[in-house]
Amino acid sequence: MQMVTTIKQVKEQVNQWKNEGETIGFVPTMGYLHEGHGSLITAAREHNTKVVVSIFINPLQFGPNEDLDSYPHDIERDRHFCEELGADLIFHPTPEEMYPQDFFTYVDMSVLTEELCGINRPGHFRGVCTVVNKLFNIVQPNRAYFGKKDAQQLAIIKQMVNDLSMNVEVVGCPIVREEDGLAKSSRNTYLSSEERKAAQIISKAIFTGEELVKSGETNVGKVISTMKATLENEPMAKIEYVKVVDGLTLAPITTIKAPTLVPVAVYIGKTRLIDNFFVEGLS
């Protein structure tokens, strides 16, 4: 497995692979890898002959008061992790390599970016769309793998690929959880041991909502109030939102019918965590 830091090095390698008829699976990440990322690398390994992982803490997607400076990183650990899972190439650029001083172009999207996480994180998805677009141009993947944990991000990337007629298949992969249910996240490392215990309440609320919908509840208000009541049992949890939206357009809905997305954002202490469930079919 190689690790490279320049756009030129990646392009040279992928051009060679393309000439040799290889297919490229791509997993964009911000590093500090865990089994959630691992599941994407494994899926990419299964469906493609070459796997590229990018590790880049993208400054464009962080707001001024967010955790850019404290975001966890350990490139040697990540390198080992990727190698174990059979990745072929890590792209680990500096911010200057990605965004030189004369960088002026951004990819923006309306509607899908204006709800949910977009409300309290203005500019976040502009940063995500810009970096993913640039990474796609560098890596030229046949398929790119994203986690359903970041459900709004996944919907936005699919929309961008479709709107801009990009030549890549976007594959969504299931949420990987800790044993107690907490969705794996690099940001979980911010939690103190007390906060880590309290964070269990998020997946409890998700599972409660999911059970309610599975048992036939279609009333959005009932699902939201039940999930909020679960979260309110934990004094350390501060709800940013619990929403029920159309699974494709992310528009608010009043009656649950597949596909529906039920996303939540919750603060545990200073750490903002997200989780969701998706209603794909109703019995």
DSSP H/E element including 221: helix 220-232
Q: Which of 124, 184, 243, 272 binds ligand AMP (CB under 6 A)?
A: 184
Q: Judged by CB under 6 A, does residue 150 bind ligand AMP?
A: yes
Name the residue nearer to ligand AMP (CB basis): 183 or 205.
183
Shortest separation between residue 55's beta carbon and ligand AMP, angstroms = 8
d(CA 136, CA 151) in angstroms, rounded, equals 19
Number of residues this chain uses to bind ligand AMP (CB under 6 A): 17
> How far, in Å, CA of 265 to CA of 246, rounded?
17
Active site residue 92: no
Structure tokens at 118: 């977009």
User: In the stretch 49-88, what mask flags binding to ligand AMP with x, by CB under 6 A?
Assistant: ----------------------------------------
> Closest separation between CB of residue 71 and ligand AMP, Å?
9
Show contacts with ligand AMP in window 21-40 (CB under 6 A): 29-30, 36-37, 39-40
In the complex, what is the shortest distance from the CB of residue 108 to ligand AMP, in angstroms, rounded to a whole number? 19
Separation of alpha carbons 196 and 250, rounded Å: 29
Q: Is 147 helix (H, G, I), strand (E, B) or coil?
A: strand
What are the Cα distances from residue 30, in Å, to 90, 95, 138? 12, 12, 17
Place of tokens 């490139």: 75
The SS3 assignment for 243 reads coil
Residue 214 identity = K
C-alpha span between 32 and 71 (Å, rounded): 9
**Could you say whether residue 183 binds ligand AMP (CB under 6 A)?**
yes
Per-residue x/- mask for ligand AMP, residues 185 to 204, rule CB under 6 A? xx------------------
Which parts of this chain interact with ligand AMP (CB under 6 A)? 29-30, 36-37, 39-40, 146-147, 149-150, 173, 175-176, 183-186
